[in-house]
Chains A and B, each alone.
Chain A
């Protein structure tokens, strides 16, 4: 048998994914390094970077010269590979240092070097690796990495507010406890001999007998007591807050529900409670229970905030506090509740389970649901939806609800997954994360091929749907994270080896749906590898074939390029069924792109229209500009003429300023000034001092009449108290506590004229030792103003 015959036992792989693995781009997106950001005002946040990016940056900043840095740079992929293979043997992230050191050694061993360069290389590598020695997590594309990533992203959200609440609670408890302490010391128990002894220290030594002192202390000593309800409220509040402060609550706590044993490898060290009934109904109960407990805490917390500010008003707050539930919490408060996370395989969601999921989403409870989807090749019978051809078609109906934060991501893009989860945690809506994971037991290389295939072939694209993003799809929907998202398929430069049959050294290949399906060679029926003897003119690369379908009657046969381990290329024909799936996928991807704002039909039309319009507008504008310029010139000419005339007039007519004092001297205004309130009189005086003056023409001109009217208004003397002079003697406030009240400085003012009579004003003025009450004139309709009262009032006005 011909060794390269289709029936050959040598395994063929789609060329694009097999050869791409050999290039450096393989490590572009994974693994990532997550570590804590520099804390700003104690706020906790995380930062994720790809290791490759981190290393490249570090290499640039190294002081060591070429060629050693160049050698490492060229072999960066290899270094990452060493690191990852080492990491997969060491699940324990804690010993990252050892992992890194071993990986460094392994890497150096494989490089050919003499003793001289070895030292240098050693230095470069060590320096690079020290970049990941800081506390942090390395996250790659293994199943277990999903667990790590979820915990980091989800927990970080709680950590970010935990410190704040611990601090605040401590402060509040401190404040309230000192209030209670004062209250206690004023209570009968506070006068018990024991308490007294406690607060005085060694009384005996200074000759005071606690018993006697207790008997002789008056029961009521000064301060106003708290009401019983307030006391009870304070005690309860403090108890609740204290309970949390002294609990062993850990900021990293989260409540994790995982449905199946098969998912245990994702969260290996979790103590996921066994799920008896359905996981989603379980999650709902769990959330209700947890949220209930925390709402109780936040009742206390908010009460304490109000109490400390002296702002708790039972009429207002009793009901509001009692009616609090999880939906009334602020975002910050909400973040403190340990998140409830449900982990399930997307394939098990059907029938009853789907009903429960819908119920949970209907209830709007902000539970985090993580659905894993194993990337293991394309099955033409899979359900096709706009949002993907896998995941049991779940994304579409969930997004259609409009109230759920949805991310679809893949372990091929840990950074996308991480940022997506972080955003999801920040939303107070239910969150669903659909994540492509490798099949259990897949090798690192296989896992990568499948994950990249599922993503690149647009079978399960990445996206984030944030219902609170805005009022348009563009604002809510984000397609970032997909390789070359502007294109139909991602296209890669592939280096062809010598024995390949292509003439050129390099070629570019697209990662299409059949390429993904071909990962299942030789099992899949949809792709047939043909020997080179059967190649013909009628066979076209898939992408070209799809184009031909639009135009040609006889489009020929589509093929993709496959390669075996020896580097031999073959064409593989694609079945009709797969071509149909492929066409369907293309259509869906186009729609999806449009949702994500790429190649949007309306936008394209609009931009064409806009181009035409701008062209027309430009002509218009030129004309208007010319006209405007002409007008402007004319205006400037006229204005300068007017200004000259004004100046001439100003020189001819003298314009001496005239002050209020001058006006007063004129006689007619003097009474008015005297009748002003002291404050107004002072401001009038100030005006005078400051030299502010009215110019002659303003008073002598037409305004004169108006000015006079304004001042006459002041004459109708309103009663007032010169509060600054009030001596807090209680005379007026005792006479009529509604008419007279104290201000913030405990000095009297007239609070409500309606509440008293003119006679009362005069009586108060007579009693006022500070003589600061001025009763003014009776208000129209006041029946108490007799002649004698008016005469008395006059003394005080």
Chain B
């Protein structure tokens, strides 16, 4: 419903979008799946920021979480397994005007797509990356993923996984030119919303790992910390993710962490007994590859031809 107190139109876009304007197909995720609240949070951000649907694109790879673009009534690109990043970077290279959201799973990003992941972080092109970490390959029905805990069993490791999991936050924080790393949980909508909103407003690549429940295959993984918020560590700071007191109150364990402090962020990231949530690191002045890649995007056809010919002239004998 439209908020009647707001003016009907906001120039220069004379349109007003409601949540429904961003709702695509009816989601086919299992009921109770942690992907659902993320979808709602993104739709709310689109609505609250009045993002133009035709100027918004959701890019994904393959996986349960990667079905995200279908459920948004914006543009979308449901790509190849592991290849969300290259597609998103390609779009951003030439289209500074679009809002880009990337939906990728722990399998999609940290296994098959790991190479792209590392370089996308370094390129730091403006986009919101949501890593849906359910510790499993969900879509292919229960295979060990790089983030699956040691000893947790799956169809590929019925006796339990052999080696310790990869820590996506620690990895990301150690990549050169990283500019925004945050962690949140799907079951706390206010925190989820605030984190994604901060990511959306970040001028660069904002990497958000979302601890995502998969009630179908890995129901046990996050259940304890959903039941007992003291298993989560709320990182607080004036420059961090803004959470209001009502929300902060439920977290018994809190720590003051300045997101400008990379070393401290790395320390926090590797803590094993507790999941820190909030903003690990932010550097708004990191270099951005999209500032270079869009060079000449505003040239018209004849200018381009001229430029190519000029280059070719170098080879004249």
Contact = CB atoms under 8 A, between A and B. Distances in A.
Given A171-B14, A725-B188, A745 B32 contact: no
Interface stretch (A147-155, A241-249, A286-294, A729-737): A729-737
A309 to B, nearest CB: 6
Contacts of B8: 309
Interface string A715-743: 00000000011111111001000000000
Interface string A695-733: 000000000000000000000000000001111111100
B39 interface: yes
Nearest to B192: A727
A746 B44 contact: yes
A769 B14 contact: no
Contact of A724 (B2, B31, B70, B189): B189
Contacts of B70: 222
A724 B190 contact: yes
A682 interface: yes
Contact of A734 (B16, B31, B36, B188): B31
A456 B73 CA distance: 74
B117 interface: no
Contacts of A175: 14-15
A767 B215 CA distance: 12
B263 to A, nearest CB: 34
A727 B31 contact: no
Interface in A119-175: 171, 175
A747 interface: yes
A276 interface: no
Nearest to B34: A727
B24 A728 contact: no
A224 interface: yes
B40 to A, nearest CB: 4
B246 interface: yes
A734 B18 CA distance: 23
B44 A727 contact: no
A310 B15 CA distance: 10
Nearest to B8: A309
A175 B14 CA distance: 9
B19 A746 contact: yes
Residue of A223, A724, A730, A746 with highest tally of chain B CB at under 10 A: A746
B76 A726 contact: no
A728 B73 contact: no
B14 A729 contact: no
B137 interface: no
B15 A746 contact: no
B1 A744 contact: yes
Contact of B25 (A222, A727, A770): A222
A753 interface: no
A725 B40 CA distance: 12
B37 A728 contact: yes
Given A223-B73, A724-B190, A730 B36 contact: yes
A725 B24 contact: no
Contacts of B36: 727-730
B307 to A, nearest CB: 18
A224 B73 contact: yes
B180 interface: no
B188 to A, nearest CB: 7
A729 B33 contact: yes
Contacts of A178: 54
A729 B215 CA distance: 11
Nearest to A768: B32
Contact of A726 (B34, B44, B54, B189): B189
A768 to B, nearest CB: 9
A308 interface: yes
B126 interface: no
| Among A222, A767, A770, residue most surrounded by chain B Cβ atoms (within 10 Å) | A222
A310 B9 CA distance: 12
A770 B226 CA distance: 8
8 tightest CB-CB pairs across the interface, nearest first?
Answer: A727-B37, A728-B40, A746-B40, A769-B32, A729-B32, A222-B24, A728-B36, A223-B73
Given A682-B246, A727-B186, 17 more contacts: A222-B24, A223-B24, A223-B73, A724-B189, A725-B189, A727-B187, A728-B40, A729-B32, A729-B37, A730-B36, A731-B31, A745-B44, A746-B40, A746-B43, A746-B44, A770-B187, A770-B189
Interface of A: 171, 175, 178, 222-224, 308-310, 678, 682, 724-731, 734, 744-747, 767, 769-770
26 contacts: A171-B14, A175-B15, A178-B54, A223-B24, A308-B14, A309-B16, A310-B18, A678-B246, A724-B246, A725-B187, A725-B188, A725-B189, A727-B36, A727-B40, A727-B187, A728-B39, A729-B31, A729-B37, A730-B31, A731-B31, A731-B32, A744-B19, A746-B43, A747-B189, A769-B32, A769-B215
Interface of B: 1-2, 8, 14-16, 18-19, 21, 23-25, 31-34, 36-37, 39-40, 43-44, 54, 70, 73, 76, 186-190, 213, 215, 226, 245-246
